[in-house]
Homo-oligomer: A and B are copies of this chain.
C-alpha cells in the first residue's frame, strides 16, 4: 500500500502514521516530493485495513498495490486450472457448451430439451429448480421435484447437471442431484452461501454479480477456494450499465482480463448478457473468439411458453446452429468446439 499524505500534512502527522504502521509490523519507505509526502508500506502480504489508515489525520488517500485475491490469482498458480465435468474438462482445449431451459417446468419440457441439446453437442445440461425471481408473484421453480427431473434427464442423456442453489440449507439437496452447483449473479456476495457451496466438494459455477467488479468476483471465488475446494468455474453473464436496448452489457473485456489475472476457467452466458435471443449467437461466437472456455445458453422447445426468460431462450434448431458456428470459431482460435465443424 502507498499512503498519500495531504499537501498540508504536518510532520507530526507523518510521524504518527509511520509509528502506527510500524507498530503493526510493517516496514515503511518515506518519499518526499515537491508537493506531497508518500509513505510506502511494505509487509509480508498480510492485508492492512485501508479504512484505519484513511481515518488518520493528514492522510489524503491510500493506493492499493497488491491484488487482494490469492488462491484465485494466476501469480500464485500460473497454469490454467482444469475442472472435470463428467468425462470432459472445462478449461482445456475443447470449449464446453452448457445448455438447457431457464427453469425446469415439467418432465416433458425438460426431457425434450435435454435430448435436443445433447444431440446438438452440448457438454452439460442446465436447468433451474430453485429460481431467484425479482417478483414474489412470479414462478419460483419446482424445487425438489425439479432436481429429481434433472437427475432423470442425466440418466437418459448422460449429460452432467448444472443447477442453482439459493440458500445454504439447499446445498445438501442440490449436491445430491447435481454435478455442478451454480451460484447466481444476485447471490455472488451471499458469503454464507459461497462458503456452504465450497464445502460441498462439487464444482461451483460462480456467476459474476451484475454490478460486481472483476476484483470482487475473484474475491467471491476466493471464499469458495478457501474451503479447500479448487473447482470454481467463473461465468461472465453481463453487467448493468446505462444502455437500455439490451438486458445487460456483456463485458467481453472481462475474458482476457480474467484470463490474465486468474487461472480459473471462464465461461460466457450470452443469454443473460443480451436478454434477446436474436443476439445470442453473435455474442456466443465473440466469447469463444475472445478466449472463453465455454458457454452457458438458455434453450427452450417453445420459448413463447417458457415460464421465465422466454425472450432470450433459443429454439433447439437455433441452438444447433449456434453450436456449429461456435465450433468453427473455436477452431479458428486454436481450440476445439463441441462438434467437428
Q: A interface vs B, CB < 8 Å?
A: 2, 4, 7-8, 20, 29, 31-36, 38, 40, 42-45, 47, 49-56, 63, 65-66, 68, 75, 132-138, 166-169, 186-187, 189-193, 209-211, 213-216, 219, 222-223, 226, 238-246, 249-257, 259-261, 273-274, 276-279, 282-283, 285-291, 303-313, 325, 328-329, 331-333
Grouping DSSP codes into helix (H, G, I), strand (E, B) and loop, the A interface class, with mixed when no group exceeds half, is mixed
Are B289's CB and A66's CB within 8 A?
no
Q: Enumerate chain B residues within 8 angstroms of A44, measured Cβ to Cβ.
A: 34
Q: Enumerate chain B residues within 8 angstroms of A53, measured Cβ to Cβ.
A: 304, 310
Q: Enumerate chain B residues within 8 angstroms of A283, measured Cβ to Cβ.
A: 252-253, 256, 290
Known contacts A2-B2, A166-B191, A214-B245: A303-B55 contact under CB 8 Å: yes
CA distance A135 to B115 in the complex (A): 41
Q: Which among B54, B274, B328 is the interface contact of A310 at CB below 8 angstroms?
A: B54
Known contacts A168-B169, A253-B283: A20-B304 contact under CB 8 Å: yes
Are A66's CB and B35's CB within 8 A?
yes
Q: Which among B34, B257, B274, B329 is the interface contact of A329 at CB below 8 angstroms?
A: B329
Are A219's CB and B134's CB within 8 A?
yes
Residue of B nearest to A189 (CB): B186
CA distance A332 to B4 in the complex (A): 36
* A286 smallest CB distance to B (angstroms): 4
Q: A2-B40, A252-B286, A256-B278 are in contact. List 16 more A-B contacts (CB 8 A).
A: A4-B65, A29-B40, A38-B65, A47-B137, A49-B138, A49-B306, A51-B306, A51-B308, A52-B303, A55-B277, A132-B189, A187-B190, A213-B243, A214-B243, A243-B254, A282-B291
Q: Which among B243, B329, B332 is the interface contact of A251 at CB below 8 angstroms?
A: B243
Residue of B nearest to A137 (CB): B47
Nearest 10 A/B pairs, CB to CB: A211-B211, A51-B310, A289-B289, A55-B303, A332-B332, A54-B311, A186-B189, A286-B286, A256-B282, A167-B192
Are A49's CB and B307's CB within 8 A?
yes
Q: Which among B34, B290, B291 is the interface contact of A42 at CB below 8 angstroms?
A: B34
Residue of B nearest to A17 (CB): B304
